[in-house]
Amino acid sequence: MTLDGIDASEEWLDSWARQANAQAALSVELSRRVAELTGKAEGRDGAIRVTVGSAGQVERLELDDRVHELSGPRLADEIMTVMRRAQASLSGRVAEEVQATVGADTETGRAVIHSFDTRFPAAEREEDK
């Protein structure tokens, strides 16, 4: 191998290492941003409001007095519907953060989006039922 060939190989390796370090830094930034995200949704009349955390867990459930008009099973169904919509909202916000950091077209971006979309698919809106 010639000296020029060695120099070119070293430059390629340095470039590859810089790209890998940059991608790793972007992945850390994405992780930080996602950890701060919440998803929110409310029922059609605003009587039920749900906020979910970055893992999709319910962080806040707000019910107003209008829920007394619902039977127990109907109230449970409504709460679950709104919770799934909040989780789907979270999934959309994650996709936005992926695009803003690592890019949706990267292996990391596709994996993160797929993970959230699989766990929290787009929920049917109450008005669509």
126 or 2, greater pLDDT = 2
For position 127, what pLDDT does the model report? 46
Q: Phi and psi of 52, rounded to 5°?
A: -115, 150
Q: Cβ atoms within 10 A of the Cβ of 8, count?
A: 12
Q: Confidence band (pLDDT; 50, 70, 90) for 107?
A: very high
Q: Confidence band (pLDDT; 50, 70, 90) for 15?
A: confident
Whether the predicted pLDDT of 103 surpasses 60: yes
**Residue in 115, 125, 120 with CA at minimum distance from that of residue 41:** 125
| Residue 58 to residue 36: CA distance in whole angstroms | 14
| Residue 91 to residue 110: CA distance in whole angstroms | 13
| Residue 90 to residue 67: CA distance in whole angstroms | 25
Q: Confidence band (pLDDT; 50, 70, 90) for 125?
A: very low
Whether the predicted pLDDT of 80 surpasses 90: yes
| Chain segment 18-72, per-residue pLDDT in tens | 888 888 899 999 999 999 999 999 998 999 999 999 999 999 999 999 999 999 9
Domain edges within the chain: 3-128
Q: Averaged over 101-120, what is the pLDDT?
A: 94
Write out the DSSP string of 21-63: HHHHHHHHHHHHHHHT--EEEE-TTSSEEEEE-TTS-EEEEEE
3-128 in CATH: which number?
A: 3.30.1310.10
